[in-house]
Amino acid sequence: MSSPVIDRLRTRLATVLPPAPTLARAGLGAMLVVAGVHKLLAPEAWAVYVVDWLAPWLVVSPRLFMVLNGPPEIAVGFGLLTDRFVAIGSAIAAVSLTVTTGYLAVVALTRGGLFADVMIRDIALTGLAWAVLADAVRT
């Protein structure tokens, strides 16, 4: 059902909100910048996501691994925020988030639900990254 108030609100929002692809790109870019900066400032907060069976596969310590991931994440995020190299940046984000979500799913299934809350959030972020990529390659 529609009402005059809802119709006016819908019309007003349609005129003031940026297009959905712009909002998606900005949201993904902002998330990547903030996550990258946080990895530089508090790598130990991110290192907890490296479980014991994964740690030997890393060439460096989990803490240093997170520090090393910060700058590229910031660069990709800024690229998305400034509407530069969107296809490449969103492809990097989509693949990275897909792998991360898969890893978190394995951990959740094998460790009694460990990190399931983060995995659930990352499912949405993965979809967002793929949506930004889909838009970038179609325009």
Per-residue pLDDT of 59-96, as tens digits, reads 999 999 999 999 999 999 999 999 999 999 999 999 99
pLDDT at residue 32, rounded to an integer: 98
Structure-block tokens of residue 72: 């590229």
Q: Give me the mean pLDDT over the 54-63 stretch.
A: 97
pLDDT at residue 139, rounded to an integer: 85
Residues 65, 43: Cα–Cα separation, whole Å: 8
Q: For the chain, what is the total number of helices (H) and then of strands (E)? A: 6, 0
pLDDT for residue 1 is more than 80:
no
Per-residue pLDDT of 22-31, as tens digits, reads 999 999 999 9
Residues 75, 33: Cα–Cα separation, whole Å: 7
pLDDT for residue 2 is more than 90:
no
